[in-house]
């Protein structure tokens, strides 16, 4: 057989789907997996899905040698030690000038370490965020490659075709920057996704718990929202969820799903990085805390028995007004969440000298990825107007939208509090806005108190 254009190692569902996507775009691809049955499974899928040019290999030497030089191999394996093990397996057969690309959710410093190690061996290295899940990998993801620019140019033609295509802004891929910038940007993307999902969950909870909307009404509301400024993949699938009946019993599936959410680590890394960079990210932090609390299912069940009671005000609610208020509150909170994520990226870019283009990041998130939304076009335009924008909140268009929606936003948060419904994301977003817009904060009082406590002896002795 003729040499293939590229190789891919790691054939779980994401790896299989990305390999099929690459092959479907006209690039013959070699595939390898330590478990050989996965190789055979991928080749069979390629045949079934249109005799795609996918070639399987059961040993790493044959796999590497089947790829044209300079060789490029994408890895899609679990982050951490498995990546190092896969690199060791592949590098034993690669030659100077060849390239390895890690397409997993890896910690950015690991990518920078590996890039240096590969450079010492004459190999090129990229850390590439891949967003969009299994569907995106197969049909067009958002791609965030960072590291060696020379390596990026090796496969730019492939990535431009494999990435999601947005008619008005092009392929959802760009060279992010040097070092671990690609992984870092993907990490923060996931943190923003956490915030987005939390805010949508809160909107649902307020409408259901306070407004008493039925699942049918919720389906209609979210479907309508998806036609306007909230149009997005997450709003779309939320609307769909409310229409799914339980095939194993009566009622709707949404009411029977366990209220317990896990995580893969990128959200926690985002919050940790925000703290280390001294960037306020309360909405993303609130979303992470909410996931932690959701995991305490048994404790919450016991607590609900101790704190029994009716926490609602019992006052009548105008459904139409509530729906409109929640829509505006969700949009305003969303602006704050994205502002926080962009500020984390901006701060890290400044620290590392990456020179990241925030408007370009918004562009490549418009398609393929989980947070794809019409809203991202607004963000791109904001950074196009001012690439040094201190915060999305002060962009003239976003500032006006926040001001137009703040009354509804406050009504929703107050209504939720008065009815015992937690809205940590919306509340944190509102507090973020209220703190950011004030020219003087009570920090002066806390600073003065700390100074007195540390400097002035009391009858109890000096405080340290």
Positions annotated as catalytic residues are 186, 193
Tell whether 317 is in a known binding site: no
Q: How far is CA 446 from CA 286, 430, 436, 439, 461, in A?
A: 23, 22, 18, 16, 20
Whole-angstrom distance, CA of residue 409 vs CA of residue 385: 27
Report the C-alpha gap between 18 and 30 in whole angstroms. Answer: 12
The answer to whether the CB of 156 falls within 8 A of the CB of 150 is no
Strand order in the sheet with 142-147: 54-57, 29-32, 6-9, 72-75, 99-102, 124-131, 142-147
Tell me how far apart the alpha carbons of residues 157 and 364 are, in angstroms, rounded to a whole number. 16
State the DSSP string of 11-50. Answer: -SHHHHHHHHHHHHTT--EEEE-SSHHHHHHHHHHHHHTT
The answer to whether 79 is a known ligand-binding residue is yes
Residue 261, annotated as binding a ligand: no
Q: What is the Cα–Cα distance from 400 to 415, expressed in whole angstroms?
A: 24
Residue 251 annotated as lining a ligand binding site: no
Q: What is residue 131's three-state secondary structure?
A: strand
Q: Is 35 annotated as a binding residue?
A: yes
- Our measurement of the distance from residue 199's CA atom to the centroid of its chain's CA atoms, rounded to an integer in Å, reads 14
3-state secondary structure of 81: helix
d(CA 167, CA 363) in angstroms, rounded, equals 12
**Residue 31 labeled ligand binder:** no
83 assigned to a ligand binding site: no
210 in a labelled binding site: no
d(CA 310, CA 289): 25
Residue 34 annotated as lining a ligand binding site: yes
> Is 10 labelled a binding residue?
yes
Instruction: Say how many CA atoms lie within 13 Å of 395 toward its Cβ.
Output: 22
326 is in an annotated binding site: no
Q: How far is CA 399 from CA 279, 325, 406, in A?
A: 20, 18, 11
Give bridge partners of residue 147 from the DSSP assignment.
Answer: 126
Cα–Cα nearest to 177, from 361, 414, 46, 319: 361
Binding residues: 10-15, 33-35, 77-79, 105
Binding residues for NADP(+): 10-15, 33-35, 77-79, 105
């Amino acid at each position: 057989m003729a040499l293939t254009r590229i190789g891919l190692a790691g054939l779980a569902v994401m790896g299989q789907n990305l390999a099929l996507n690459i092959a479907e775009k006209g690039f013959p691809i070699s595939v390898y997996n330590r478990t050989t049955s996965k190789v055979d499974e991928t080749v069979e899928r390629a045949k079934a899905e249109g005799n795609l040019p996918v070639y399987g290999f059961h040993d790493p030497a044959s796999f590497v040698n089947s790829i044209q030089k300079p060789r490029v191999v994408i890895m899609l394996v679990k982050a951490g030690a498995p990546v190092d093990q896969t690199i060791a397996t592949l590098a034993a057969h690669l030659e100077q000038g060849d390239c390895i690309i890690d397409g997993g959710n890896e910690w950015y410093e690991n990518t920078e370490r590996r890039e240096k190690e590969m450079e010492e061996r004459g190999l090129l290295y990229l850390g590439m965020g891949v967003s969009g899940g299994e569907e995106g990998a197969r049909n067009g993801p958002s791609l965030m490659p960072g590291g060696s620019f020379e390596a990026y140019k090796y496969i730019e033609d492939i990535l431009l075709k494999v990435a999601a295509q947005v008619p008005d802004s092009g392929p959802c891929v760009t060279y992010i920057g040097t070092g671990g910038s690609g992984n870092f940007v993907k990490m923060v993307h996931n943190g923003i996704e956490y915030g987005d999902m939390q805010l949508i969950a809160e909107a649902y909870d307020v409408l259901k718990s306070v407004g008493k909307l039925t699942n049918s009404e919720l389906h209609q509301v979210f479907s309508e929202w998806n036609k306007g400024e909230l149009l997005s993949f997450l709003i779309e699938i939320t609307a769909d969820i409310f229409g799914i009946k339980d095939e194993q019993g009566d009622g709707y599936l949404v009411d029977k799903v366990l209220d317990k959410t896990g995580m893969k680590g990128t959200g926690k890394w985002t919050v940790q990085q925000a703290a280390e960079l001294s960037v306020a990210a309360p909405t993303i932090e609130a979303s992470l805390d909410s996931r932690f609390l959701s995991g305490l299912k048994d404790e919450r069940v016991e607590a609900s028995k101790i704190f029994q009671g009716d926490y609602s005000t019992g006052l009548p609610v105008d459904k139409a007004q509530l729906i409109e208020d929640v829509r505006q509150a969700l949009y305003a909170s969303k602006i704050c969440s994205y502002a926080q994520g962009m500020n984390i990226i901006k701060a890290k870019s400044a620290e590392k000298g990456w020179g990241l283009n925030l408007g370009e990041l918004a562009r490549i998130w418009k398609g393929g990825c989980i947070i794809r939304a019409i809203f991202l076009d607004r963000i791109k335009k904001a950074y196009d107007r001012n690439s040094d924008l201190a915060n999305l909140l002060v962009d003239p268009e976003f500032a006006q939208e926040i001001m137009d929606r703040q009354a509804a936003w406050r009504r929703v948060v107050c209504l939720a509090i008065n009815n015992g419904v937690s809205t940590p994301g919306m509340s944190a977003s509102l507090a973020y806005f209220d703190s950011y817009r004030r020219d003087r904060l009570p920090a002066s009082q806390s600073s003065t108190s700390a100074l007195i406590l540390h400097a002035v002896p009391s009858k109890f002795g000096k405080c340290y």
